[in-house]
Amino acid sequence: MLHQPPITLTLFIISPLLFLISAAQARNCNGHAELCGRRYSNISFVGAHDSPFVGPLPSDNQGISVTEQLQRGYRFLQGQTHIDDYDDENPGVLHMCHTDCLLRDAGTVTEYLATVKTFLDNNPDEVVTVLLTNGDDVDISVFDSVVTESGIKDYAFTPSGKLSMDQWPTLEELINSNKRLVLFLDYGADTSKVPYILPEFDYIFETKYGITDPNFPDCSLDRPPGASPDGLMFLMNHFLDIKIIDGILVPDRANAERTNAANGEGSIGAQVETCWQLYQRPPNFVLLDFVEKGEGLLAQDQLNAL
């Protein structure tokens, strides 16, 4: 006669299996199980415009650090880069600088990316997008060097070729492959030399920035000039500026609660409605100043129908 295994042994064998099944069922991707099976190109990411420029000065766009931005749930970070010509000890190093390194210097690009790497190290179910600008037309090899120095390169997603909208992997596929950084550069990217730094305007178009009208009435395609929106993801710039004098704009911190509201006049939702009339789809990316104010993450959930 066959003997049944002891109950304790049966539980010992089955319990880990139940745990693994439960863990798989409970898995979240960027905080939501519903996003796991959706393509990267079919998700809306609300993020931090000029994310490294943190503080109380008129040249600052954010009130909380990059680490805090990530911890709160923002998975899209943008920042300006420039060569720091004012550092006599380390000349020619690529820094996160607002317009000019003499105006606002938030440290090296290597340090900035290392901060993002630390977050990815500690959060294995998260995918982060970084969009860098190349204001000094720096060669792509320099960006490759600083990415390598930061240690984040192993996380970078590298497509096998230029992707159409329906060829992007799902969030879960990016997580399973541990390629959880999507890195764009606005100008100067060359995928024949550095395949993981993606040319922004091969994949994304942007609406206008430098907006001073608090109702954000315009959603027309601004960059790249003359492009068609068809086949491209789109970035909605939704940060409000104040005009000081001609050519000088500063972030409107005082009205950030209204600007970053999910719904209502001048809100994220209101501009999304304007954009919908043109493109019949939600934005893939939304950039905000002062992400600690308002309802950016609520708006993100609404855009993703969560």
Tokens of 278: 């043109």
Residue 269 one-letter amino acid:
G
DSSP characters over 110-147: HHHHHHHHHHHHH-TT--EEEEEEETT---HHHHHHHH
Q: d(Cα 111, Cα 95) in Å, to the nearest integer?
A: 9
Q: d(Cα 258, Cα 267) in Å, to the nearest integer?
A: 6
Tokens of 108: 């090296």
Is 32 among the residues known to form the active site?
A: no
Is 3 among the residues known to form the active site?
A: no
Which residue out of 82, 95, 98, 238 is catalytically annotated?
98
Looking at the chain, which runs of residues are DSSP E strands? 45-48, 76-84, 93-97, 105-108, 128-134, 181-185, 197-199, 204-207, 221-223, 233-237, 241-245, 248-251, 285-288
Which residue out of 49, 82, 95, 238 is catalytically annotated?
49
Catalytic residues: 49, 98
